[in-house]
Structure formats: C-alpha cells, structure tokens
Amino acid sequence: MWLGSVRQAPLPTNQTDYDWWALRPTPTIQLYCSSILSSSSSSFAISLSLFLSSLDPKLLLLASRSSSLLSSHLSSHLLVVASWDLGERGAGGRSKRRARSIKINMSNNKVLTLEEVSKHNTKDDCWLIIGGKVYNVTKFLEDHPGGDDVLLSSTAKDATDDFEDVGHSTTARAMMDEYYVGDIDATTIPTKVKYTPPKQPHYNQDKTPEFIIKILQFLVPLAILGLAVAVRIYTKSESA
Ligand code: HEM
C-alpha cells in the first residue's frame, strides 16, 4: 500500500511547538505533514489529503514548510500531528485539547547496492554513502564549503571515514536529511582489509664484537700502563 507502515511517534519534545499547535483555535482535528509533500509532490499531498478525509471528513491536512515543529521530521517520514477538542475549558478559558502525533514511514527504506550507487559519480549526478545511508548531493555540489571535487572523489565507495575525518559540524549533519535517498545494502560494501605491515627481516642483533672493542679500548691502555710501571720497578731494583 502506498502509505507504508504507520508507527506511533512520541509527542514533540519542544514545549513551545507543542503549545503552538495544541492551543490554536482551529478545526477539531488538525493534521500537519512534513515538507516532503509540499512543492515537489503536491499531487501526492492532495491524494493523501483525500485519503485522510475519506477516513474522517473533519480531518484537515496542512502541508507546511515553515513550521519549526516539522523541520526536524523531514525526508523519509511524514509526520502527522493531530489535536482535538476535549470539550472542556482550562485556565484562561482556553479549550482543553489532547494531542497525538504519528509518523508514517514513506520511504519504504529503499535499499541500494554499491553497484547502483556507484553509477552516480558525476557532476550532474552525484551520490554518496555515509553512515549506511545514501545521499544524492548533486544539488549541493556547488555549495559544498569543502568543494565539489572532494565530494566527487568520495563517490562509489563508503565515504563515512572521509566525512568523519573532516569533523563536520552538527549543522552539516542536519543538512544531510535533505539529500537522503535510501539505505545501502551493507553486504555489497567490501569489508576493509586490515593493514598488517610485512614482517621485518631478522637482522643479527648480536652486539658482541662492539662490546669486545669497548672492553679492549679500556684494557689496552691499562695493560701498557701496568707494563710501564713493572719495567720502571724492575730497572730501579737492577740499578740498586
Ligand atoms: C551529505 C554530505 C555532506 C554535507 C551535507 C557536507 C556539508 C559540509 C558543510 C556544511 C561544511 C562546512 C563546515 C561544517 O559545517 O562542518 C563542509 C565542509 C567540508 N566538507 Fe563536507 N559535507 C558532506 C560530505 C563531505 C564529504 C564526503 C567530504 C569528503 C572528504 C567532505 C569534505 C569537506 C571538507 C574538506 C570541508 C572543508 C572543511 C574546512 O575547510 O574546515 N564533505 N561540508
């Protein structure tokens, strides 16, 4: 089915965002969907809207790009946030609302092989594999602060190490969702061969000759001195 699997997602943790949509004086149930549906797939947004309306005519679908609440739920997921009036009045006369969000997995997590991804290795079509995910960075090539050539040289392989070695900021990491196209089939990536240095040839570590020379350097002068003293003593006793 085109909607994919439906999963429960936790409520937004950002309290400001929560208040923003939960207390709005809007129809009984509101639905917000993330920006994957806006612009590029507006026809899909309309189909989804009709589908949801067929479930309950009170459902209202809002495709929004601007809400900060939605911005953290982009790419492969559609976030649907619903709130409804409990019919009670809370503090300040505001109507009490209950809220809930569900996440619909839209991606069907497309799994690509290294061979497929490797075909996208040009300036006009550039895909990268980073952290088990595949990114189409073609539109980002010109804007990449590190230059397009580094991105192009990171194609057709697992570029995770290249990416991590640069120490990309959290801003850079947050940008990646925008370019996500699927997951990589890890079995198609060759395992890294651990480099083991070749065994060094066994050199003769015997230091004996060196040691003997040092001893001799010390003993020979001593022997000469001893001989000189002996000769001197001998000649003295001869003359006496
Ligand atoms: C989707 C993938 C990528 C995104 C969104 C991205 C984004 C960015 C951003 C925003 C910066 C500015 C500095 C920062 O905020 O960290 C940056 C810098 C840089 N990136 Fe990437 N990048 C990606 C992949 C890569 C890859 C695969 C390489 C390969 C080596 C790379 C190499 C660099 C280099 C060399 C710099 C410049 C660092 C500097 O001058 O300090 N990037 N990138």
pLDDT digits (tens), the chain, 240 positions: 223 323 333 334 443 333 333 333 333 333 444 333 333 344 455 555 555 555 544 444 443 333 333 333 333 444 454 545 556 666 666 666 555 554 444 445 688 999 999 999 999 999 999 999 999 999 999 999 999 999 999 999 999 999 999 999 999 999 998 999 988 888 899 887 767 777 776 665 566 778 888 888 888 889 999 999 999 888 888 776
The phi, psi pair for 193, rounded to 5°, reads -85, 120
Does 166 sit in the ligand 1 pocket, CB within 6 Å?
Answer: yes
List, in sequence order, every residue forming a beta bridge with 101; answer none if it has no partner. Answer: 81
The Å distance, Cα 167 to ligand 1 centre, comes to: 8
The residue whose CA has the least distance to atom 42 of ligand 1 is 163
- CA of residue 28 relative to chain centroid, distance: 40
The count of other CB atoms within 10 Å of the CB of residue 48 is 22
Sign of dihedral through CA atoms 48, 49, 52, 55?
A: negative
CATH 3.10.120.10 spans which residues of the chain? 111-188
C-alpha 166 – ligand 1 centre gap (Å): 7
Reading the block at residue 221, the tokens are 């002068």
**What is the ipTM metric for this complex?**
0.97
Taking a C-beta distance cutoff of 8 angstroms, is the pair 164, 157 a contact? no
3-state secondary structure 37-100: HCHHHHHHHHHHHHHHHHHCCCCCEEECCCCHHHHCCCCCEEEEEEEEEEEEECHHHCEEEEEE
CA distance 117 to 148: 18
Please tell me the residue having the least CA distance from ligand 1 atom 36: 146
What residue owns the CA closest to ligand 1's atom 27? 163
Domain 111-188 has CATH 3.10.120.10: yes
